[in-house]
């Protein structure tokens, strides 16, 4: 296959940039895990002690141009630390859910015992009744509430033992409590038969997610509605209110989770802007994004994140395209083609450039590509309609050998020239273009200029 070729270029500079970007993402993942572990006082997260050593080893791979190993290793580390963070959040959510479930059981039990204690002895246990009323309205679980509930439970079970007169519903509760284990230890353990709507149980976990991902205040507005529904008599209206609360809480939890991901991504983009962008517009964008993050303005952060993502992508595309053009032109200059610095500019402006070797008056090489220069078309071309037909075959055959040499040269620089498509010799007539002739001094100067920038 010695005719026109379509190739893809991956330069060493690109590979380094990709690895550096991944390393910054790794740093962000490590920092996020540390903050999460500290916030929740979590000591079970793995890998924190070894992270510095592991990162240094990955950095060494990049320095030694072992890019495939480095990329794979960095991506694995990022996934590991992100998973550890999710595990820490899950543990915090489980702990918060457990605490909320205990509080809920305390409130429901307090409400159940309130009427029973009042009926057992009118006016004799006013202090106990006040305590039960307070527990029924309390959002947080406390050990003191355990002790109060245990004491109230003992009152009811003692009444059963004495054969006190109870209403039918009170008797049912008392019979259920009869034989219930009530510990006398400092925690004041108690057990009351509490049955809850499973939708309310699931809501406790959702509220815990909101509390963990944002704060307690964000969950409180829903907690108050939940507390009202816990002890409300069962009815179609109550069921509808539970369904409405479920929808509101699920929507809020998903929005808060999305916001958390948005702010995490924005933090990473801010780091990218600070590291890679030096223009005035980019600096202004960085300042606006930093201010939006500080004020927790979700709408502004979302808009500026889009702008920052595009700005960074454009900058990386420009740098990568320049590196690709330089790599190809430098390699061809090493093979004897006449190249100067203006050719890179001409390539950008016209989408193509024509090269030739000294002493080759009839044929040359055309390079054509879009602006990003990610994929190129390389083809032998002729400079005149009046030429021996056999010279076309010789030119294409010579270019085939040079292409292999160009691949080898780029590989020695840790770059890649990947052949994606090629046509056989003679399938496509040679394109006739205008000749470009340069002095050998200019070609040497170009090679030296590219080498200085590598």
pLDDT one-digit tens code per residue, 326-340: 999 999 999 999 998
Using 50, 70 and 90 to split pLDDT, how confident is the model at 177?
A: very low
pLDDT number for residue 279: 80
pLDDT of residue 162: 65
* Amino acid 193: pLDDT: 56
- pTM of this structure: 0.76
Q: With 70 as the cut, is the pLDDT of residue 439 above it?
A: no
Q: What pLDDT score was predicted for residue 390?
A: 85
Please check the confidence at residue 286 and state whether its pLDDT lies above 70.
yes
Q: Which residue has the higher pLDDT, 312 or 448?
A: 312
Band of residue 181 on the pLDDT scale cut at 50, 70, 90: very low
pLDDT, tens digit, 9 for 90 and up, residues 94-131: 999 988 888 888 888 888 888 777 777 566 667 878 88
Residues 3-45 pLDDT 10s: 789 999 999 999 999 999 999 999 999 999 999 999 999 888 7
Encode pLDDT of 199-258 as tens digits: 888 898 999 999 998 888 888 889 889 888 887 888 999 999 999 999 999 999 999 999
Rounded to the nearest integer, the mean pLDDT of the chain is 84
Which one has a higher pLDDT value, 306 or 450? 306
For residue 191, the model assigns a pLDDT of 56
Confidence band, pLDDT 50/70/90 cuts, at residue 375: very high
Q: Pick from 40-44, 217-221, 303-307, 440-444 the range whose average pLDDT is largest.
A: 303-307
Instruction: Decide which of 363 and 184 is more confident.
Output: 363
What is the predicted pLDDT for the residue at 365?
95
Give 437's pLDDT tier (boundaries 50, 70, 90).
low
The yes-or-no verdict on residue 303 having pLDDT over 50 is: yes
C-alpha 304/C-alpha 292 separation (Å) is 8
């Amino acid at each position: 296959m010695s005719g026109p070729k379509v190739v893809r270029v991956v330069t060493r500079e690109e590979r380094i940039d990709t690895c550096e970007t991944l390393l910054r993402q790794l740093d962000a993942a490590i920092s996020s895990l540390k903050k999460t572990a500290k916030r929740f006082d979590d000591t079970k997260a793995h890998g924190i002690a070894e992270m510095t050593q592991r990162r240094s080893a990955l950095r060494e791979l990049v320095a030694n141009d072992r890019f495939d190993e480095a990329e794979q290793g960095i991506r694995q580390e990022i996934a590991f630390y992100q998973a550890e963070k999710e595990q820490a959040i899950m543990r915090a959510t489980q702990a918060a859910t457990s605490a909320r479930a205990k509080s809920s059981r305390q409130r429901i039990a307090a409400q159940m015992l309130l009427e029973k204690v009042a009926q057992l002895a009118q006016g004799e246990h006013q202090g106990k009744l006040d305590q039960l009323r307070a527990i029924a309205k309390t959002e947080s679980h406390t050990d003191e509430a355990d002790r109060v509930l245990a004491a109230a439970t003992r009152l009811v079970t003692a009444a059963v033992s004495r054969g006190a007169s109870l209403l039918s519903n009170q008797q049912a509760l008392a019979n259920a409590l009869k034989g219930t284990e009530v510990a006398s230890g400092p925690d004041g353990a108690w057990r009351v038969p509490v049955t809850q709507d499973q939708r309310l149980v699931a809501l406790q976990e959702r509220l815990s997610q909101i509390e963990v991902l944002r704060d307690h205040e964000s969950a409180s507005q829903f907690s108050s509605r939940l507390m009202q529904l816990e002890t409300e008599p069962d009815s179609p209206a109550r069921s509808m209110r539970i369904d409405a609360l479920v929808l509101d809480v699920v929507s809020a939890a998903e929005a808060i989770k999305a916001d958390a991901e948005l702010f995490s991504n924005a933090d990473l983009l801010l780091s990218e802007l600070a590291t890679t962008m030096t223009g005035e517009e980019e600096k202004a964008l960085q300042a606006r994004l930093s201010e939006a993050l500080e004020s927790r303005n979700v709408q502004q952060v979302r808009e500026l994140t889009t702008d920052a993502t595009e700005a960074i992508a454009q900058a990386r595309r420009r740098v990568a395209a320049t590196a690709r053009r330089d790599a190809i032109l430098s390699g061809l200059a090493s093979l004897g083609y006449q190249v100067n610095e203006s050719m890179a500019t001409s390539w950008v402006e016209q989408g193509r450039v024509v090269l030739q070797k000294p002493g080759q008056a009839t044929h040359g090489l055309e390079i054509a590509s879009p602006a990003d220069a990610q994929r190129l078309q390389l083809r032998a071309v002729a400079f005149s309609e009046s030429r021996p037909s056999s010279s076309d075959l010789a030119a294409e055959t010579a270019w085939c050998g040079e292409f292999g040499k160009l691949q080898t040269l780029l590989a020695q620089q840790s770059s890649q020239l990947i052949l994606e498509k090629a046509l056989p010799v003679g399938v496509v007539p040679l394109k006739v273009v205008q000749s470009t002739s340069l002095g050998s001094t200019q070609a040497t100067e170009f090679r030296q200029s590219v080498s200085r920038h590598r």
